[in-house]
Amino acid sequence: MKYFIYSLVLQVLTVIFLFPFIDSQFRIKGDTVDAIIVVLVFGALNFAIRKLILIFTLGVGAIIYYLTLGIAGLVINALVLILIAKLAPNMIGVPGFFQAFLGGALLAFANCIGKGRE
């Protein structure tokens, strides 16, 4: 539980403070509650999509992930951010795929830092 809270706080701070450095249009449009909701939805969708890919590809998806050195995971992160922006355009603005890719990489990095505190 401690890891979850720490990781959530790091990811929310990443969304609020680091996303605008990538692009001025790449930001949370509301307040901190919107950032928390975006991070929670990002984590849930990311988890669900990764499990579905693993199930539907019968384990080959995991091999592809390792062969691409994690780039496939970052692409999934970018697509999830774009999906969240399409589903809730009043919460987050994502100007393009490259910005979403960098944002997904930052969220993955924040999550890795959170795991180190476990």
Q: Give, in degrees to the nearest 5, the angle at Cα 74 between 108 and 1.
A: 30
Rounded-to-5 percentages of helix, strand, coil across the chain? 75, 5, 20
Q: Which residue has the higher pLDDT, 2 or 35?
A: 35
Instruction: Give the count of domains, the chain.
Output: 1
Neighbours of 82 (CB within 10 A): 19
At 41-88, the pLDDT tens digits run 999 999 998 888 878 887 777 787 778 878 888 999 999 999 999 999
**Cα separation, 64 vs 41, whole angstroms:** 25
Q: 80: closest CA among 56, 112, 53, 60?
A: 53
Whether 27 and 51 have beta carbons less than 8 Å apart is answered as: no
- Record the pTM: 0.88
pLDDT category, 118, cuts 50, 70, 90?
A: low
At 19-44, the pLDDT tens digits run 999 999 998 988 899 999 999 999 99
- Residue-range definition of the domain harbouring residue 44: 2-116
